[in-house]
Structure 1
Amino acid sequence: MHDLEQKIGETEILNIPELAITAGETVCIQGGNGSGKTALLRALMGLTRCNSGDVIVLGNDMRRIGASSLERLRADAIGFVFQHYRLVPYLSAFDNILLPCYFSSKRKEEAERRSETAANDAFRLIRKLSLKDPSRLSKDAANYSAGQQQRFAIARALVGKPQLVLADEPASAMDSNGKKAVYQLLQDECRASGATLICTTHDENSIDGFDRYLDMKTLNLARERENRWSL
């Protein structure tokens, strides 16, 4: 990523001169609300297009990639944990976790390679997030608590060994023990598969084990200037 700039109207949201993250690295980006963390992950996912600069993700130019190629890249190679989960409310928790395997034969094959079936891989992940009874995955996703829905979203992002995992405040609905389990699982799964992991959080305490920690306030010059102007 080089000279990235993103605006909404005349308001500058992101201005990042340079950010390089190597394949297989685990990175935690810390910063307060409104610092640009979510905007950065959305740019990396291709959900929003930046006004200028270079955004290269897994060898793809995210400012210029075509719609069909972008959809295939997301399905095959990127796991995303949305801040507000984005589960399909009328599907069961189990079907939500397996969605990447329904859309990507590559993800399905990777899940089967690891656990014999994609279903087994879903159960393996959810057990590591303290939901040990598979029968509890049969209800529609909307019927679960926020903490449970967040766990389903994390398992969905990890199933089928994506090359890149982007996690936006992935433990916001957890207690301290739950947070520790979430970050440990994300790190363990990505390191085992060689995937790159980028997490964002506003929590500056008790998040251990990442290869690198970045301060969004320092990284994003747009917010740094805004803070100066408000003095």
Structure 2
Amino acid sequence: MSLLTLKDVEFAWPNSAPFLNIASFEIAPGEHVFLKGPSGSGKSTLLGLISGVLSAQKGEISFDGQDLAKLSGGARDRVRATDMGVVFQLFNLLPYLSVMSNVTLPCKLSAARRNRVTNGGDDLETEARRLLERLGLTDEKLLNSPVTNLSVGQQQRVAAARALIGAPKLIIADEPTSALDTRARDAFLALLKEESEHAGSALLFVSHDDGLGDAFHRRVDLTQINTLAEVPA
């Protein structure tokens, strides 16, 4: 059984023609998928549909056996909070919270994610520290300071720890390495994959950098699955 299934999904912005039409796309539990697409191809829009932030005009998006279109907005929010971890392109950390508070936030919004941590014998802070240490953030003063005191690379790692905590069923990473040099990018990608495997989470990693695709179980070109895509000659 697939964790995520898209079937005949069509999306258009208000008063505009459809620009995204996907006949079929699936992700299996625990599968790591690399989604490639040029800028403006609809990658972020697709992620919005998958996470339930956006609603398609046609078709079915099923996540963990639930048709997202049949859920209320609040129910979709709960699915996202409980079973999805998102590394946003611009991180979307809360500037008025400390590093630790940002990382543990998903477990305070979702009892299920909190229970996945505590049922394993750890408290939230211990698990947050483990993830941050794995991602190279070990300075005690840094962990208790506002995220605004961190560099871009450090904020990215905090965003990854926040997405990973509580073992969500799907990790979505939207161009998370675009601001990193090659060495930092490769190290971050390796850690993200390792921690996803440790949690048993599926991983959907989105990038325009085709060179990263070999690190994943499968690569998908958005211009190939979107029947409305304008493919360069």
TM-score (norm 1): 0.91
Give secondary structure in 2 for the equivalent of 1:10.
Answer: coil
Partner of residue 167, structure 2? 161
The offset of 1:63, in angstroms, is: 1.8
What are the Cα deviations for residues 27-50 of structure 1, in whole angstroms up to 9, with x where unaligned? 010111111111111101001101
Asked if the contact 1:129–1:151 (Cα under 8 Å) also holds between the matched residues in 2, the reply is yes
Q: Once the two structures are superposed, what CA deviation does each residue of 1:65-101 show, in whole Å capped at 9, x if it has no partner?
A: 1122212211211111111111111111211111111
Unaligned runs of 5+ in 2: 1-5
Question: 2: distance between equivalents of 1:185 and 1:110?
Answer: 20
Unaligned stretches of 5+ in structure 1? Answer: none
Which of 15, 19, 30 is the equivalent residue of 2:25? 19
Select 2:9's aligned residue among 4, 7, 19. Answer: 4
Match of 2:190 among 184, 192, 203: 184
The total of aligned residue pairs comes to 227
CA distance in 2, matches of 1:113, 1:182: 28
Conserved 8 A contact 2:39-2:208: yes
TM-score (norm 2): 0.91
Work out the CA distance in 2 between the residues paired with 1:185 and 1:120. Answer: 18
1:90 to 86, 96, 119: 96
- Letter in structure 1 aligned against 2:65: G
Q: How does 1:188-207 map to 2 (within 5 A)?
A: 188-207=194-213
Identity of aligned residues (%): 36
Instruction: Write out per-residue CA displacement over residues 154-199 of structure 1, whole angstroms, 9 at most, x where no aligned residue.
Output: 1100001011111111222222222122222222222223221111
List structure 1 segments (4+ residues) > 3 angstroms apart after TM superposition.
none
Which of 34, 43, 49 lines up with 2:40 in the alignment?
34
Q: CA RMSD in A?
A: 1.7
In 2: Cα distance, 1:176 partner to 1:219 partner: 29
Q: Distance in 2 between matches of 1:194 and 1:126?
A: 18
